């Protein structure tokens, strides 16, 4: 794990000003991307600067040599899947018959605030079906604690109607990857609805394994969930590359586990591009 931690650190360089010891790493003990460089320099605050891709891969190559990617790990929500409609719109539309009168902007603001707060009932947010956590999020977002309303929302997000694939060509890419012998897995902070959801979207057979936080008892950026996925696939962490849309959870979490990691929407924009980067023609 020491090597993996150094690899993650290689992806971001900490720049420290005079006041850094007092400020620390920000609220909650997490590294944060803080404001502009000018403002930070003036205040003497620590900030994270992304290391260049070439510098990172030179560092990685020095540890592992020229590694061939034998497996691809993929984040679910935000990378593989996306909601078909904005969350706040769904919460409001379904909630109207239950007395929800907040605007979509208000619901979104309250949702973000509730989701960002520490979840104190258990170590993990997603335990089994995740109902206690999601009940808290729904009631905090809408002001409505009606259990019938919650169940309608909860069941809606279990169906294919609520989700769509982020990349319309994903089917052909994953078929080509598996034909080329590349192993694939979904790695997601999700409750136990993920497996039936993948089945409903008819994409479960694209993957050799699924590592769900509710099942492995670890949530990204905890490296355990990435290590579990590699264990399921029978590959070493350094032989896998993880694709996800969240810098902290996906990029840094995967690197902490010793995996390579590419940021969806920044390093790569399609699964075809992912396949081409590891030498698989689609």
Domain identity same for 174 and 256: yes
- How much is the average pLDDT of 9-27? 34
In the chain, % of residues over pLDDT 90:
73
Please report the pLDDT score of residue 61 as a whole number. Answer: 72
Element (H, E) at 180: none
User: How does the average pLDDT of the chain come out, rounded?
Assistant: 84
159-209 pLDDT, tens digit each: 999 999 999 999 999 999 999 999 999 999 999 999 999 999 999 999 999
Please state, in angstroms and as integers, the Cα–Cα distance from residue 47 to each residue in 8, 35, 39, 76, 251, following that order: 16, 9, 11, 29, 17
Its domain, for residue 270, covers: 53-80+162-276
98-129 pLDDT, tens digit each: 999 999 999 999 999 999 999 988 889 999 99
Domain identity same for 170 and 256: yes
Please report the pLDDT score of residue 62 as a whole number. Answer: 72
Q: What is the CATH number of the domain that holds 253?
A: 3.40.50.1000
Dihedral over Cα of 271, 220, 20, 6: its sign: negative
Domain identity same for 262 and 174: yes
Q: Is residue 107 part of a domain?
A: yes
Please report the pLDDT score of residue 45 as a whole number. Answer: 42
Confidence of residue 11 (pLDDT cuts 50, 70, 90): very low
Range with the poorest average pLDDT among 35-39, 85-89, 163-167, 278-282:
35-39
Domain identity same for 72 and 108: no
Q: How far apart are CA 151 and CA 138, in angstroms?
A: 10
Please state, in angstroms and as integers, the Cα–Cα distance from residue 239 to each residue in 60, 72, 151, 234, 242, following that order: 12, 9, 41, 10, 10
Q: What is the CATH number of the domain that holds 140?
A: 1.10.150
């Amino acid at each position: 794990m020491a090597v993996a931690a150094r690899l993650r650190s290689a992806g971001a360089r900490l720049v420290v000003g005079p006041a850094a010891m007092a400020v620390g790493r920000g609220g909650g003990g997490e590294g944060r991307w803080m404001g502009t460089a000018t403002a930070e320099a003036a205040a003497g605050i620590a900030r994270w600067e992304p290391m260049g891709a070439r510098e990172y891969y030179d560092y990685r190559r020095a540890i592992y040599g020229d590694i061939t990617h034998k497996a691809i790990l993929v984040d679910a929500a935000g990378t593989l899947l996306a909601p078909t409609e904005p969350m706040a719109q769904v919460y409001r539309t379904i909630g109207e018959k239950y007395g929800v009168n907040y605007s979509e902007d208000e619901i979104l603001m309250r949702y973000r605030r509730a989701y960002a707060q520490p979840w104190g009932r258990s170590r993990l947010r997603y335990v089994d079906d995740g109902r206690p956590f999601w009940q808290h999020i729904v009631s905090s977002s809408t002001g409505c604690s009606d259990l019938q309303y919650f169940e309608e929302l909860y069941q809606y997000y279990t169906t294919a109607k609520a989700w769509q694939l982020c990349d319309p060509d994903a089917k052909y890419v994953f078929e080509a990857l598996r034909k080329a012998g590349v192993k694939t897995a979904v790695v997601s902070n999700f409750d136990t609805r993920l497996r039936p959801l993948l089945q409903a979207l008819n994409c479960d057979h694209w993957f050799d394994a699924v590592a769900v936080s509710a099942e492995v008892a670890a949530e990204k950026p905890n490296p355990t969930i990435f290590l579990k996925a590699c264990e399921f696939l029978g590959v070493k962490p350094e032989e896998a590359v993880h694709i996800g849309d969240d810098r902290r959870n996906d990029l840094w979490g995967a690197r902490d586990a010793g995996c390579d990691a590419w940021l969806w929407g920044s390093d790569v924009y399609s699964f075809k591009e992912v396949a081409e980067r590891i030498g698989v023609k689609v």
